[in-house]
Structure 1
Amino acid sequence: MPERSTRGAGPLVVVGDVLLDVDIVGTSSRLCPDAPVPVVEQAEERPRPGGAGLAALLAAAGGREVVLVTALADDDAGRRLRAMLERHLEVAAFHLHGGTPRKLRIRSGGQSVARLDAGEGQALDGPVGPRVTDAIAGAGSVLVSDYGRGVTRHRAVRSLLGELAADVPVVWDPHPRGAPPVPGVRLLTPNEEEAARLAAADGAEISGFGLSAAGRRGRHLGRAWGIGGVAVTLGSDGALLCDGSEAPFLAPAEPARGDSCGAGDSFAAGAAGALADGRALTAAVTEGVRWASEFVRAGAAAGLSARLTETGTARLVPERGEDARDVVERVRRAGGTVVATGGCFDLLHAGHVDLLQRARRLGDCLVVCVNSDASVRRRKGPTRPVTPAADRVRVLEALSDVDAAVVFDDDTPAPLLERLRPDVWVKGADYAGTALPEAETVRAHGGEIVLLPLLEGRSTTRLLSTTKGNAS
């Protein structure tokens, strides 16, 4: 369907409920003597904004001007939230009745051990003040992040959103306990469970799961609420856009392992930003999936907590060259084992795949250090590489056993390994008896070098030689 024009001059306004999320992160090696529960030691508190606050922070981290419209209580949690948010974006808040909602997760080894919820604050009808009114009226685009705490049910807020939806793109991230979207919403972004519950609440009996069920529920919600685009997010499978076309559009997710908490907020923020820039629904959904994948790869909500605690920065979406570092930091924070290997990987073959599979089994992540084009030429001669570095990295990162790939330009990977500091450095058995120039760097930081067996008769040089012989 044709896209409506966008006003586009104002900021992205995020409207919704804010929560204070706190991760208590530590290590655990024993059980409590009086109950079969783990003892979490060396615990560190990592607070962050949750709900609409997370969505707004993610949008601001992408370099966009953002205003957050929400309800805040005048309590310790509310003041902490305001202080964290106002460092990165404008906050226009009205009164929240009751305590600020708080969610506390106790985590060890990359897993949640327990979660405690507190604070039952609600945004009740009443005056919102000129700051809130002006913020919504001046929006160039809107992301509604509903967490069922009353902001989207507030009469004044709904009235302002309803007046705006005809002129600017509105993305509505719904909640089963929240309010229905106002007329004119451009894109609805429920996850699978939310889509099922919302459709059931509307009287639709749609059974099943997976793409087929998601498509039927998305189409039903679009018809029921008069919304041109419904993107049902499918976790690691991406997002399915139902926009009235004969067949829905699937935006597949990039491979990303890790904590997915907050990925839905990241998806909605990415999609809202793309619509604000005048892009089509399919492009917006694709951009949202990319944001969510990179958010998970960078450590997701736990990574955000660490960044806010350690640096105070809102830079959450990693640049392409930062993925390896982010993976290593996430695994190391969780107490896992970092494995790395390296090479040219020119013309990826079965021998490479076998080595990477074996290497990944040695730890909790695998980072591949890839020789740059110039580095390959110095090692292999002027006719190499056959495949440029960007393509080699893309192929490697498409493998399920590779968590990240990073290019280095030096003659040896030692400078890169000085930064990554892997626990295990993997080489092929053909290096047995060879003095590795990077060995001292690996062992200086407590790492170990492991040689793995190779598949016989597989090598890029041999493949190229065979190809050249056949061509002649």
Structure 2
Amino acid sequence: MKVTVVGDVLLDVDINGTATRLSPDAPVPVVDVADIRRRAGGAGLVATLLARDGHDVALVTAVSDDDGASYLRRALAGVAVLTGVPLAPTPTKTRVRIGTHPVVRFDEGCAPAPSPSCTGEMLAAIASAEAIVVADYGRGMTDNIDIRTALADAAHHVPVVWDPHPAGAEPVPGVAVVTPNVGEARAAAKAGGLDPSRAAAADAGKHLLERWRSNAVLVTTGEDGAVLVEASGLGKIIPAPKIMVDDPCGAGDRLAGSLAVYLGKGLAPPTAAARAVEDASAFLAKGGASSLAMDTSTPSVGGDARATAGPVVELFGRFPGLEPGVQLARAVRAKGGTVVATGGCFDLLHAGHARTLAAARDMGDCLIVCLNSDDSVRRLKGPHRPIVSMEDRAELLLALSCVDAVVVFDEDTPEACLNQLRPDIWVKGGDYQPDELPEASLVAVWGGRCVTVPFHPARSTSGLAEALAKVS
């Protein structure tokens, strides 16, 4: 589905670490930083999630030219980003976590900003969409009069889901659904006091339905789910599945994106809302927004241009026109298929490799191979490896009927690559237990699982290399 996301992008930064002592300067914990992870937030998170679902996504926003913007563009790989000229730096939210527990958040540049400019390309993306999500984070995007006019026109033809913000503009009339949380809804309705109940949500929703002149208002109520208010005035309670949640960040973005897609497919609002609530709960159960972040704690050396392009440095499809690895994974997953991935150096391809790859392909609907780059192999195996270049290794793998795509990564481990592919099954050859694999904890974040296949003795690249050395 062609989905356009309109709104404000943020840079979310997670600083993760441990704390085992107090500072001598003050009675505060000392955090030993393990990693720093960055991801696109706000409208960028909505666009990222929809792109991972396999949709054709355009993001209408404003992106600055500072350091934060470079991280944002990297995180938004796979999304068509259409930008006006921003009048403020990249807003950044930095969360510090000890284990899974957040201890503090720093906000930089997150105050309301003047409305950015708009281009004809941005308006065309709104006009051509099959569904639209407005992710307003109070940074001026929804104040632009041309964008508001385009959204009002689009609302006559396609579903527009508007996720509002207290500092943002009011929704244009005629949108399909507005999705405030109960606090935002009661504040907008000028209801006094704190009341997170469903009854309070329904009352605020009825008031806002008339005020905003939308077709429906879906007031989210946290772990209780949501309340849908339509023209009838009745509040339909939509319960959420009971899950354990460490961090609710991103639930509203997941819900708004899913809701727009379901409405675009023709589902009635109550059905679409119920499914969107389920999607948001499933997203949180798999780690929420923090599971999407890229590890950026290790800076690149020498200014390699590939370092700004994300962990995937080369993409190969098996046939001309076949989607490369990341896009293939999204497409298969969007159709309900099972994505299988495996990884390694595959230097001097041998029968053991072929058997492992064939067994892996039988487990799902596509097999994507994560291949160490030449530099990665050299760091792992020594200066005389690889024997076969990256391009030739990829070509040989793609010649096997069981391999659908190859993704080359430049790091020492495939974790960043896996975080983009998010396979349902990660396969490795060997005689160890699946939960002993170093990637096991990462794959579990999105509900995937690790599988090992038998190791074939007397078949190895090192053995082949030694044999070749004797006859050369």
Residue of structure 2 in register with 1:236 after alignment:
223
Percent identity, aligned pairs only?
41
- 2:12 match: 21
Matched, 1:151 2:141: yes
- 2:189 aligned counterpart, secondary structure: helix
Aligned residues of 2:66 and 2:90 also touching (Cα < 8 A): yes
Match of 2:293 in 1: 305
Counterparts of residues 65-214 of structure 1 (less than 5 Å): 65-85=56-76, 87-120=77-110, 124-125=114-115, 127-200=117-190, 208-214=195-201
Counterpart amino acid of residue 234 in structure 2: A
TM-score between the two structures when normalised by the length of structure 2: 0.62
Q: Which amino acid aligns with 2:58?
A: V
Structure 1 CA distance for aligned equivalents of residues 192 and 179 of structure 2 = 20
Aligned-residue offset at 1:291: 1.4
RMSD: 3.0
Tell me how far apart the structure 1 counterparts of residues 109 and 45 of structure 2 sit (CA, whole Å): 18
Where do 5+ consecutive residues of structure 1 fail to align?
A: 1-9, 323-405, 407-413, 423-472
1:63-104 CA-to-partner distances (Å, cap 9, x unmatched) read 11111000111111112212321x221111101102110111
Contact 1:98 1:120 in 2 (8 A): no
Q: Which residue of 1 aligns with 2:392?
A: none
Is 1:270 aligned to residue 264 of structure 2?
Answer: no
Correspondences of 1:2-21 after superposition (within 5 Å): 11-21=2-12
Aligned with 2:54 (options 47, 63, 69): 63
Deviations 1:185-222 (A, max 9, x none): 1001001111111111xxx5587430110110011111
Query: Higher mean Cα deviation, 304-313 or 217-226?
Result: 304-313
**1:215 and 2:202 equivalent?**
yes
**For the structure 1 residues 254 and 71, does the alpha-carbon distance in structure 2 shift closer, same or farther, using more than 3 Å as the test?**
same
Change (3 A) 1:126 1:149: closer
Give the match's secondary structure for 1:158. helix
Q: 1:30 aligns with which of 21, 43, 47?
A: 21
Instruction: Give the match for residue 465 of structure 1.
Output: none
Change beyond 3 A, Cα 1:125–1:292: closer
Name the amino acid aligned to 1:29. Answer: T
In the alignment, is residue 226 of structure 1 matched against residue 217 of structure 2?
Answer: no
Gaps of 5+ in 2: 298-309, 313-325, 340-423, 425-431, 442-472
1:250 aligns with 2:221: no
Q: Which runs of 4+ in 1 moved over 3 A?
A: 120-127, 204-209, 306-322, 414-422
Residue 340 of structure 1 is matched in structure 2 by: none
Q: Kindly tell me: are residues 15 and 118 of structure 1, through their superposed partners in 2, closer, same or farther at Cα, counting changes over 3 Å?
A: same
In structure 1, give the amino acid aligned to 2:251.
A
| 8 A contact 1:21–1:47 mirrored in 2 | yes
Alpha-carbon deviation of 1:230?
Answer: 0.7
User: How far apart in 2 are the matches of 1:90 and 1:164?
Assistant: 19
Counterpart Cα distance in 1 of 2:295 and 2:239: 28
**Equivalence for 2:44:** 53
State how 1:299-378 maps to structure 2 within 5 Å: 299-305=287-293
Amino acid at match of 2:181: N
1:226 is displaced (CA, Å) by 1.3
- Give the Cα–Cα distance (whole angstroms) in 2 for the partners of residues 205 and 118 of structure 1: 30
TM-score, normalising length from structure 1? 0.62
Output one character per residue of 1:81-137: Cα deviation in whole Å (capped at 9) or x when no partner: 12321x221111101102110111111121112211112576645641222121111
Contact 1:99 1:120 in 2 (8 A): no
